[in-house]
């Protein structure tokens, strides 16, 4: 039993489309009024423009998801500034150097520890960039997503 | 084609033995839902106490493997309801749940399970240590340090030596990271990018300075140029547009300076806690003490 416990610790359930693995999904929050306009633009960008671009966003959540989540959580003006700030002032060498960010593995190679690239992305949720947010270090740490649960505004899975 | 019930060899009822075999098979093949379902069916139908508990254990193991803590709780409740006088197994399952939840990154839920075992003398010391770990992961460093200090003098705890240093480091957690948001904002207000550099984000600072300086210059130049022209577009529209863009960059620079200071502190603190958690996990890796597994025999090398 002990070995089983240790082996199962932190493991994810095998995916299946029946039984209890057909888990309940957190429904997306409906954005009210004016936010919908911005969301429509962002969704258009995600559907039509982003696929034409050469490379993926180096962050999780991606910049468009980050902006949408910020707008939902902090209002459209603050959300716009947060998205703008990430796009124009923060996506640079500082992100790649990873001194001020944690990274998360994407895809299957979970033990990859090399530089940011196709297998590893910067973990940068909106809560980590709220200047008036709580001084809770778990907000910047990808290992505490489960611990913070619904306190996060980006319920989408990290590993896509 | 004849119906399945008419096939020879299939006209026999499933026994609880069959259910247990199916549960064990499903568990070993990783189909946790089936293992849970067969295990619980066997638990409900079996009459022998030992076999019932074995079935419950299989179902419980399936819940842990499938990360289904609600169902795991249901197994514990079923065992408690079936054998209200014998709390030992229910306590053991609750303890294993707590360990599993902690290792799965759910310290708050782990603490919930620890409540039922922490008063049991068989688990009190172990539970206190795990609670200290869970409180640290739940961002309650003072409570965590206090629990560890309580364990320092407890002779029942075999890993007392590193506890004073661990408690001291945990208490230091809130002091890690000393960048001031106010200083960052003030610096970036005077010189765009300076606040980011103060927080250690040199490239952010250079980028902020470049955009703000570029659009700042463009703003001044557009107003200067507009003065020399009579048409509305050049006199007003263009300068107002460029000024708006400059304002957005300048405001973002201020916000970025505040974020940078906060994020620098949070990341420094998170890395500090990572180091402490690693040391705590080193103690938790003593399976003999925490999980009751038999100790490794001296002189016997583990299989490579």
Residues B185, B159 share a domain: no
Residue B113 near chain A (CB below 8 Å):
no
Residues B190, B105 share a domain: no
Distance linking the first and last C-alpha atoms of chain A:
32
Q: Is the pLDDT of residue B293 over 60?
A: yes
Could you say which of B118, B145, B175 is where a domain stops? B175
- Taking alpha carbons only, the member of B82, B157, B147, B207 closest to residue A86 is B207
**3-state class (DSSP) for residue A53:** coil
- Judged by CB atoms closer than 8 Å, whether chains meet at A84 and B248 is answered as yes
Q: What pLDDT is recorded for position B11? A: 53
Q: Find the range with the poorest average confidence among A40-44, A143-147, B116-120.
A: A143-147
For chain A, the structural domain boundaries read: 57-160
In chain A, where do the E strands start and end? Answer: 59-60, 102-105, 120-123
More confident residue, A47 or B208: B208
| Distance (Å) from the alpha carbon of B236 to chain A's nearest alpha carbon | 25
Q: What pLDDT is recorded for position B109? A: 78
Q: Is the pLDDT of residue B303 over 90?
A: no
Q: What pLDDT is recorded for position B144? A: 94
Q: What pLDDT is recorded for position A9? A: 43
Residues B192, B169 share a domain: no
Residues B188, B149 share a domain: no
Residues B103, B66 share a domain: no
Q: What pLDDT is recorded for position B292? A: 72
Angle at B149 between CA B147 and CA B151, to 5 degrees: 75
Q: Over range B247-254, report the average pLDDT.
A: 95
Residue B204 near chain A (CB below 8 Å):
yes
The shortest CB-CB distance from B208 to any of A14, A89, A99 is to A89
Residues B236, B145 share a domain: no
The shortest CB-CB distance from B258 to any of A131, A137, A140 is to A131
Of all residues in chain B, what percent carry a pLDDT higher than 70?
A: 92
Residues B68, B108 share a domain: no
Q: Over range B196-221, report the average pLDDT.
A: 95
Q: What pLDDT is recorded for position B66? A: 82
Residues B62, B107 share a domain: no
Give the domain extent around B170: 99-175
- Judged by CB atoms closer than 8 Å, whether chains meet at A5 and B266 is answered as no
Q: CA-CA distance, B297 to B109, in Å (whole number)?
A: 35
- Judged by CB atoms closer than 8 Å, whether chains meet at B65 and A4 is answered as yes
- Taking alpha carbons only, the member of A7, A151, A59 closest to residue B28 is A7
Residue B253 near chain A (CB below 8 Å):
yes
Instruction: Determine, yes or no, domain membership for B78.
Output: yes
Residues B232, B161 share a domain: no
Q: Over range B161-167, report the average pLDDT.
A: 93
Residue B179 near chain A (CB below 8 Å):
no
| Distance (Å) from the alpha carbon of B224 to chain A's nearest alpha carbon | 27
Choosing among A92, A101, A131, which should be mutated to test the B contact, i.e. which has the most B CBs within 10 A? A131
Q: Is the pLDDT of residue B42 over 60?
A: yes
How confident is the model over A5-29, as pLDDT tens digits? 444 444 444 444 556 655 544 445 5
Residues B185, B280 share a domain: yes
Q: Is the pLDDT of residue B248 over 90?
A: yes
Of the pLDDT bands very low, low, confident and very high (cuts 50, 70, 90), residue B179 is: very high
Q: Find the range with the poorest average confidence among B65-79, B138-152, B230-244.
A: B65-79
- Judged by CB atoms closer than 8 Å, whether chains meet at B265 and A135 is answered as yes
Q: What pLDDT is recorded for position B103? A: 81
Q: Is the pLDDT of residue A2 over 60?
A: no
Cβ within 8 Å of residue A60, ≥6 positions away:
A104, A106, A121, A122, A123, A124, A158
Cβ within 8 Å of residue B274, ≥6 positions away:
A141
The answer, yes or no, to whether ipTM is higher than 0.90 is no
| Total count of domains within chain B | 3
More confident residue, B92 or B255: B255
- Plot region of B144 (φ>0 → left; ψ -120 to 50 → alpha; else → beta): alpha
Q: Is the pLDDT of residue B33 over 70?
A: yes
Q: Is the pLDDT of residue B80 over 60?
A: yes
How confident is the model over A57-116, as pLDDT tens digits? 888 888 888 998 898 888 888 999 999 999 999 988 888 777 889 888 775 444 444 445
- Judged by CB atoms closer than 8 Å, whether chains meet at A3 and B293 is answered as yes
- Judged by CB atoms closer than 8 Å, whether chains meet at B204 and A94 is answered as yes
Q: Find the range with the poorest average confidence among A151-155, B7-11, B108-112.
A: A151-155
Q: CA-CA distance, A152 to A96, in Å (whole number)?
A: 24
More confident residue, B28 or A28: B28
């Amino acid at each position: 039993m002990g070995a089983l416990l240790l082996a199962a610790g932190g493991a994810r359930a095998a995916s299946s489309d029946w039984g209890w693995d057909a888990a309940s999904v957190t429904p997306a929050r409906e954005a009210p009024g004016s936010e919908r306009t911005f969301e429509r633009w962002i969704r258009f960008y995600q559907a039509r423009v982003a696929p034409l671009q050469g490379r993926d966003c180096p962050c999780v959540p991606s910049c468009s998801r980050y902006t949408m989540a910020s707008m939902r959580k902090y209002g459209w003006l603050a959300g716009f500034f947060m998205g703008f700030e990430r796009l124009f002032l923060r996506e640079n060498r500082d992100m790649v150097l990873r001194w001020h960010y944690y990274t998360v593995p994407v895809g299957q190679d979970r033990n990859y520890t090399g530089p940011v690239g196709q297998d590893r992305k910067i973990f940068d949720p909106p809560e980590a960039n709220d200047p008036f947010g709580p001084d809770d270090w778990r907000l910047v740490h990808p290992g505490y997503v489960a611990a913070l649960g619904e306190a996060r505004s980006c319920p989408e899975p990290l590993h896509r | 084609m004849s119906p399945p019930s008419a096939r020879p060899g299939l006209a026999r009822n499933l026994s609880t033995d069959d259910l247990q075999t199916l549960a064990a098979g499903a568990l070993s093949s990783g189909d946790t839902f089936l293992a849970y379902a067969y295990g619980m069916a066997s638990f409900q139908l079996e009459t022998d106490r030992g076999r019932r508990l074995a079935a419950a254990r299989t179902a419980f193991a399936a819940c842990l493997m499938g990360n289904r803590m609600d169902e795991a709780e249901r197994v514990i409740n079923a065992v408690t309801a079936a054998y209200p006088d014998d709390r030992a197994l229910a306590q053991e399952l609750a303890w294993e749940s707590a360990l599993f939840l902690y290792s799965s990154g759910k310290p708050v839920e782990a603490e919930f399970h620890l409540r039922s075992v922490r008063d049991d003398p068989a688990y009190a010391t172990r539970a206190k240590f795990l609670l200290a770990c869970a409180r640290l992961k739940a961002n309650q460093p003072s409570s965590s340090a206090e629990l560890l200090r309580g364990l320092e003098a407890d002779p029942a705890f075999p890993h007392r030596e590193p506890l004073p240093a661990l408690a001291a480091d945990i208490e230091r957690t809130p002091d890690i990271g000393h960048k001031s948001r106010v200083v960052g904002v003030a610096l970036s207000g005077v010189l765009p990018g300076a606040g980011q550099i103060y927080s250690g984000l040199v490239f952010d600072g250079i980028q902020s300075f470049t955009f703000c300086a570029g659009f700042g210059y463009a703003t001044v130049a557009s107003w200067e140029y507009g003065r020399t022209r009579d048409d509305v577009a050049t006199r007003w529209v263009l300068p107002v547009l460029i000024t708006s863009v400059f304002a957005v960059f300048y405001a973002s620079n201020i916000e970025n300076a505040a974020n940078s200071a906060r994020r620098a502190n949070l990341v420094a603190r998170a890395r500090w806690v990572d180091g402490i958690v690693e040391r705590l996990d080193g103690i938790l890796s003593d399976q003999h003490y925490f999980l009751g597994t038999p100790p490794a025999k001296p002189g016997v090398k583990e299989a490579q």
